[in-house]
Amino acid sequence: MIRLIIAGPRSCTKNTSVFQEVAKYITEIGGVDEIVTGGSTGVDLMAKQYALQYQISYKEIIPNWQNDLNAAGIVRDTRMAEYGTHLLVFFNNESKESMHLLMQAEKNHLSIKKINAPDGRLPFGEQARVNRISLTL
């Protein structure tokens, strides 16, 4: 059973880009049985919409803020990585939660695909390069 976790920044609003990348990855891995998200806005919401549109089973693993307090997001990411088999993460090199999810996915031996988040910002390394160039002018 292939359980695909789809995650990324809440700030992402480029629905078409996310849908295209999700479709491409699902084709690459030969289909999925279930899409899993953390129940947030942005990429998580788009993944849910994708699952509903294409009638793919969908599961939300949401943080339990009442029991886990400030660690709720981290605990949720760990649960997701233990449940899933594959991870498609839209990454902007800034999200601590995405970084933690990536580490948990590696620890649990998930098949991982990392894509630059389509949120209009430069990837972190590219932004640093631009900043260095600006400082030398």
- Judged by average pLDDT, the poorest of 51-65, 84-98, 100-114, 115-129 is 115-129
Backbone dihedral region for residue 87 (phi beyond 0: left; psi -120 to 50: alpha; all else: beta): beta
d(CA 73, CA 76): 5
Domain ranges of the chain: 3-136
Kindly report, residue by residue over 78-114, the tens digit of the pLDDT: 999 999 999 999 987 776 778 889 999 999 999 999 9
CATH architecture of 3-136: 3-Layer(aba) Sandwich (3.40)
- pLDDT, greater one: 45 or 119: 45
pLDDT-based confidence at residue 135 (cuts at 50, 70, 90): very low
DSSP three-state, residue 7? strand
CA–CA gap between residue 15 and residue 49 (Å, rounded): 9
pLDDT at residue 118, as a whole number: 63
- Window from 8-17, 19-28, 35-44 with minimum mean pLDDT: 8-17
The model's pTM is 0.82
Q: What is the C-alpha to C-alpha distance for residues 13 and 126, in angstroms, rounded to an integer?
A: 21
Average pLDDT, the chain: 85
Band (pLDDT 50/70/90 cuts) for residue 10 is confident
Q: Under a CB-based contact definition with an 8 Å cutoff, are residues 53 and 78 in contact?
A: no
Give just the sign of the alpha carbon dihedral 121, 118, 47, 13. positive
Query: What is the structure's pLDDT at 85?
Result: 98
